[in-house]
Amino acid sequence: FLAMEEAGESFAGYCWDVVGGAPIVNEWTHFRQAPTSTDWSAAMSKDLKKRGFKFVGPTIVYAWAQAVGMVNDHDVTCPRHREVQELAA
């Protein structure tokens, strides 16, 4: 993290570039449809490990992305799905 910042690379910018600059909004109808990892979380995990990060497996990266709002995996029947989607707009 510090090496990225010292090199002038924004960690936030890096993370948002991974998901195309905007939150991924999924349209699950049941919470069990949400994956535990994706191709992009695996690629981000691999890149972060190359940069010296630890404990950043694909599942951890995906869960972190959910937690910070990069991915909206609330199912469509959940009231939070729309609320989170509106916050991202």
Detail the residues annotated as belonging to a binding site: 74, 78
- Residue ranges of the annotated binding site for Zn(2+) are 74, 78
- Inter-axis angle of helices 11-18 and 39-50, nearest 10: 150
Cβ 70 vs Cβ 16: under 8 Å: yes
Beta-ladder partners of 32: none
Q: In DSSP terms, which residues pair with 74 in a beta bridge?
A: none
